[in-house]
A and B are shown apart, each in its own frame.
Chain A
Amino acid sequence: MAKIGVFVCHCGENIASMVDTANLVAAISEHPGVEICTEYKYFCSDPGQETVKRAVREHNLTGVVVAACSPRMHEQTFRKACAEAGLNPYMLELANIREQCSWVHTDKDEATAKAIEITRSLVEKVKRNNELQPISVPVTRRAMVIGGGIAGIQAALDIASAGREVVLVEREPSIGGHMSQISETFPTLDCSQCILTPRMVEAVQHPNITVMTYSEVESVDGYIGNFTVKVRRKARYVRMETCTGCGDCIQKCPVKKIPSEFECGLGNRTAIYTPFAQAVPNVPVIDRSRCTYFKNGKCAICKKTCQIDSIDFDQQDTIESIEVGAIVVATGFQVQDTSLYGEYGYGRYKDVITGLHFERLASASGPTAGKIKRPSDGKEPETVVFIQCAGSRDAAKGVKYCSKICCMYTAKHAMLYAHKVHHGTTKIFYMDIRAAGKGYDEFTRRAIEEDQAGYVRGRVSKVFEQNGKLIVRGVDMLLGRPVEVEADMVVLATAMVPQPDAKEFAKKIGIGYDEYGFFNEAHLKLRPVETATAGIYLAGACQSPKDIPDSVAQASAAAAKILGLFSREHLEREPVVALVSDSTCAGCWGCVTACPYNAIDRRDITDRNGNVIKRVASVNPGLCQGCGTCVSFCRSNSIDLAGFTEKQIFAEVMAL
């Protein structure tokens, strides 16, 4: 027999001035099942909560309705009060007669009538509430970081330094990411390798970090605290355990003319190679598609050269299954393909290059050993034109967003060029100079004032070749007239775009992505590091274009979130989850297709001899987020949602 206590709050004048609370109490008191109904000025106050607790104890209440503000405001307050009085906290409902009644209506009679109906319908609901227990989930206190660029390295180091195990997965043969390709960094002109390489070494040597390079995530199963990640360790054809990184094999490899991905095609690599000299780990891989041995079974010079017999042509890909409690996605970005800008001549003229090419030209470890030489004939360019927003902020052909880093790196390129080619001139075509960041505006001013960077506000319409020069035709908006510059080299500030397989990857691990393929955060402002999938976090440019400081900051934030999660052995969560009735489930699996979280599996019911009698749907309470989509999908009414059962909702509707 239900014994419901109803507590009508005045909220000072907020409710009482528009709802006739005495009338409300009188009406509700007569409702069947209501044991006690009282009113008070502030039920959320200490004495107010005491009143509720006392009533629960004295009347042995089986359910409580507080007619007050929105449950989004004080549901937790009154749940706690109920629990303290010995009543299951889920035997409580809040009737929202403030935000959705007294504050929005102007007629006291109407508002009172509405308040009575709202309260009555929730009394009917609470009568059918079930006692629920919070779900406790064990937490595997090991994290996985996917992506070994600066963001991934930072997140891994932070988690590992706090004493938790980390598995760092990188699909390239070396960690380091794009930052290892960069020559100097803005706004300090620190050498990128010099600040990055120590971090790479620290990560690979850290006792709590397992680095898996040349490895890709195959699948992610499970839920917060309990993920199982399958990682494909691609065959290197070189034994990691024994290789000393002497490099003899690389020296002797006869296939030498493969354009190096790391050098953006400006340099060559061999078929057995490390992407760059400072690679971590310093163990080469064999590019199977280029290797002569794999093509026709001959050669094997590397195997003959290797003094410690570390070459193993029989190696196979292996799949490793790793249990982790949380995942950081730090898969980075790629540079947009500039071939869609035919008018700039990229791909047609060798000396039209991208910003990343320029980084390699300016890098001391690059193909030109840091000398600025143009790709076509190796001569030093006397005039360099930089074209900003070659892809960014261009809804028609490129991407709508601002890539955020190009203004800064173009200023940096102009400076580096001025430092290396003293008699050279630079022209930078720009739309706006966006230099928001610590020391950034000072940096662009320095480029203009000290290094004579020649900024021209306007767009370029065409780049074409004439008498061995690249003619850049554009407009100077500030002077209001067309301009033509004779250049020796043109550098395009291409857009930062998501990795080519970003969308596919997001689907594989169950996170959202935006119209471009950048991964979605749980809330753009308040939860920028988490994804909508509990336990999976974001760091770096896989979420949106970011520079190094922003990527590092977000990586540390993700690490902090994970360390918070790992501070406890168990995780408690709301018991609002779906439940299947085994006796009526017909096994149509409609719910399986409806579930956005893959939380529903097929389960065999067996007799005592182990024979399968029936297969039914089964909800994994760890994965279920409690949306209830499966409930309305179920053809046989065999699933229900705790806290919002069919019975509860129908009772609520019937009482309105």
Chain B
Amino acid sequence: MSEPFEPKIVAFVCTYCTYAGADLAGTSRMKYASNVRIVRLPCTGRISPMFILKALQKGADGVLVSGCHPGDCHFAQGNYHARRRWTVFRALLAFTGIPEQRIRFSWISAAEGAKFAELINSLTEDIRKLGPFEQYHELQTVIETQSTY
């Protein structure tokens, strides 16, 4: 391959902090890699590990989960639930064959546009080094041929 590999990254973010932070990066005209696709949710507490698995199956090479800083959650405790869920989920990742580096968990507030841009750039770089997540994408083909879900 002559061209560098362009990974696809799906970001699950909460609307109050990280989505607003991404908007701020935009209004401040900061530039970052175009590899990220943002899925807006009310709160990181809404993010089910199934979203992450589904995104990876459907062709994402990396996933970002980002919400409000601890203590700043618009919904008081949603991000704490997300953090706990991530801790448990992370322990399962090795078992499911997903390298932990493909999933990034972070806090980005509505004021941290620059942090969002930096994070996307560094994450894109890291995932690029890991290469395409083909083994897992292939699973999707298996699932599609074998089940109706």
Contact = CB atoms under 8 A, between A and B. Distances in A.
Interface string B1-34: 0000000101000010001101101110111101
Interface in A603-654: 625-629, 631-633, 641, 643-644, 646, 649-650, 652-654
Contacts of A105: 31-32, 34
Contact of A626 (B10, B26, B42, B60): B42
A70 B26 contact: yes
A489 to B, nearest CB: 43
B98 interface: no
A99 B78 contact: no
Nearest to A105: B34
B48 A632 contact: yes
Contact of A596 (B30, B51, B59, B75): B75
A99 B46 contact: no
A625 B75 contact: yes
Contacts of B34: 101, 104-105, 107, 110-111, 113-114
B139 to A, nearest CB: 14
A104 B117 contact: yes
B129 to A, nearest CB: 20
Given A106-B31, A107-B34, A656-B10, A99 B26 contact: yes
Contact of A628 (B10, B37, B45): B45
B104 interface: no
Max chain A Cβ within 10 angstroms of own Cβ: one of B8, B25, B41: B41
A174 B42 CA distance: 45
Contacts of A111: 34
Given A512-B76, A628-B43, A628-B45, A653 B10 contact: yes
A102 to B, nearest CB: 8
Contact of B22 (A100, A512, A641): A100
Given A98-B26, A632-B48, A644-B41, A596 B58 contact: no
A632 B80 CA distance: 13
Interface string B103-123: 000000000000001000000
Interface string A419-431: 0000000000000
Interface string A435-462: 0000000000000000000000000000
A650 B77 CA distance: 24
B45 A627 contact: yes
A597 B48 CA distance: 20
Contacts of B54: 650, 653-654
Interface string A501-512: 000000000001
A247 to B, nearest CB: 48
A518 B40 CA distance: 33
B55 interface: yes
A100 B19 CA distance: 9
A117 B48 contact: no
Contacts of B8: 656
A632 B45 contact: yes
A580 B8 CA distance: 34
Contact of B37 (A103, A118, A512, A631): A118
B55 A656 contact: yes
A257 interface: no
Contacts of A633: 81
Contact of B43 (A104, A110, A629, A649): A629
A629 B29 contact: no
B127 interface: no
A71 interface: yes
A361 to B, nearest CB: 42
A104 to B, nearest CB: 5
Give the bracket for the number of chain A residues in contact with chain B.
35 or more
B81 A104 contact: no
B130 interface: no
Contacts of A654: 54, 58
A644 B46 contact: yes
A96 B59 CA distance: 21
B46 A532 contact: no
A576 B43 CA distance: 12
Contacts of A72: 15, 19-20, 23
Interface string B129-143: 000000000000000
Given A114-B34, A596-B78, A627 B26 contact: no
A628 B31 CA distance: 32
Max chain A Cβ within 10 angstroms of own Cβ: one of B49, B59, B77: B77
B37 A532 contact: no
Contact of A632 (B29, B32, B46): B46
B93 interface: no
Contact of A594 (B27, B51, B81, B117): B81
B48 A99 contact: no
A653 B22 CA distance: 19
Interface in B47-90: 47-49, 51, 54-55, 58-60, 74-78, 81, 85
A121 interface: yes
B29 to A, nearest CB: 6
Max chain A Cβ within 10 angstroms of own Cβ: one of B46, B58, B60: B46
A104 B55 contact: no
Max chain B Cβ within 10 angstroms of own Cβ: one of A576, A628, A644: A628
A631 B78 contact: no
Contacts of B29: 103-104
B48 A631 contact: yes
Contact of B39 (A106, A107, A631, A652): A652
A100 B20 CA distance: 10
Nearest to A641: B46
Interface string A290-301: 000000000000
A117 B32 contact: no
Contact of B26 (A71, A103, A632): A103
A627 B75 contact: yes
B26 to A, nearest CB: 3
Contacts of B85: 632
Given A106-B31, A629-B77, A653 B55 contact: yes
Nearest to A533: B76
A646 B51 CA distance: 9
Given A106-B31, A627-B75, A653-B51, A644 B42 contact: yes
B28 to A, nearest CB: 9
Given A121-B37, A653-B39, A656-B10, A532 B31 contact: no
Closest 3 interchain pairs by CB?
A: A99-B26, A628-B46, A629-B45
Given A99-B26, A656-B10, 18 more contacts: A70-B26, A71-B40, A99-B27, A104-B117, A111-B34, A117-B37, A532-B74, A594-B45, A596-B75, A596-B78, A597-B75, A629-B77, A629-B81, A631-B46, A646-B48, A652-B39, A654-B58, A656-B8
16 contacts: A71-B40, A72-B23, A96-B38, A104-B30, A121-B37, A594-B81, A626-B42, A627-B46, A627-B74, A627-B78, A628-B45, A631-B48, A632-B81, A644-B41, A650-B54, A653-B54
